[in-house]
A and B are shown apart, each in its own frame.
Chain A
Amino acid sequence: MTQSHTKISQYPPGDFAIWIFIYAELLVFGIFFLSYAFARSQNVELFNESQLNLNRISGAINTLILITSSYFVVRAVAAIRENKSLLCARWLLAAIVLASAFIGIKLFEFISIYSEGISLSTNDFYMFYLSMTFFHFMHVIMGMVILIAVMLKAKQGGYSNEDHTGVETGASYWHMVDLVWIILFPLVYVMR
């Protein structure tokens, strides 16, 4: 027992390949964050003024949603470690439902911005806001697809307490999506 445990903790949870991917993705988001911050330092007033126009409440709700969804995924991993496949699938379903709520709120944000006639070309702030949130949005969709696949397999009893790398892989990716948003929200919506 102890033996298998030390073996597990050699590497982070999930597939080795997903971690290479996660680090590469973090790098892309990192470049985006720093580009935003340094572009802002060239034009503080414009950024501060445009930032006021964002819907901070919906941004914060989305943060709470993603955090909670991430926590549900933690519960799902804990469930499969106890060999409870159905419970694992149920926690994943809850996480996916929250993810769809995130998508819905984000779409609402995009539509209201769009109806104000704002586009990528309006100014540098909106260019970054739209690019970064849209890029993240695509990651949420991608993460949802992964979670759905994992959930379906869990439902069919495809994982066990001995073999659940798939669940951990999906979970790690989802936490990355969460992690990035935790930086993005204060940076773009609040910091001035």
Chain B
Amino acid sequence: MDKTTTTKSNLRPCTWVWLTLMVLTLAVLTVGQMGLGGVTIVALLLVSTLVKTHIVADYFMGLKQGRLLWRMIIIVYLWIIVSMIGLAYWLGIS
């Protein structure tokens, strides 16, 4: 495989990632503008945040191709942050 095709094949998923991020952000804005809240909405927002940050780390930052350790640090971090935020919101409801 020569270098040009590698870069090309790396670039295409990144374009998809960019489009996904744009769409998800607009979805978040819509939720905000409608003033929605509650357990389901918060859960959806958190899942979308997890998806967005995951693909940024994997594709934009290029961690998917690196050694597992470096990728795991960020993934564990994201899961901890997102689930702790979820816990805090759940505590706020009850």
In the assembled complex, which residues on chain B have CB atoms less than 8 Å from the CB atom of A97? none
Q: Which of A146-192 contact B (CB under 8 A)?
A: 161, 168, 172, 175-176, 178-179, 182-183, 185-187, 189-192
B15 → chain A closest CB, angstroms: 8
* Chain B: interface residue total (CB-CB under 8 A): 57
Contact with A along B1-43 (1 / 0, CB 8 A): 1111011001100110110011001101101110111000110
Cβ contact within 8 Å between B7 and A30: no
In the assembled complex, which residues on chain A have CB atoms less than 8 Å from the CB atom of B56? 70, 175, 178-179, 182
Is the C-beta of A86 less than 8 angstroms from some C-beta in chain B? no
* Chain A: interface residue total (CB-CB under 8 A): 53
Cβ contact within 8 Å between A179 and B57: yes
- A54 CA to B74 CA, complexed, in Å: 29
- A9 CA to B64 CA, complexed, in Å: 9
Is the C-beta of A105 less than 8 angstroms from some C-beta in chain B? no
Q: Which of A1-30 contact B (CB under 8 A)?
A: 1-2, 5, 9-13, 19, 23, 26-27, 30
Given contacts A44-B93, A71-B15, A81-B6, 19 further A-B contacts (CB under 8 A): A9-B67, A12-B62, A12-B66, A19-B70, A30-B77, A37-B84, A40-B88, A40-B92, A44-B92, A52-B35, A60-B32, A63-B25, A67-B25, A70-B60, A75-B11, A172-B61, A189-B32, A191-B85, A192-B42
14 interchain pairs, CB-CB under 8 A: A10-B66, A13-B66, A26-B77, A41-B92, A60-B29, A64-B22, A74-B59, A81-B3, A81-B7, A179-B53, A179-B57, A190-B32, A191-B41, A192-B36
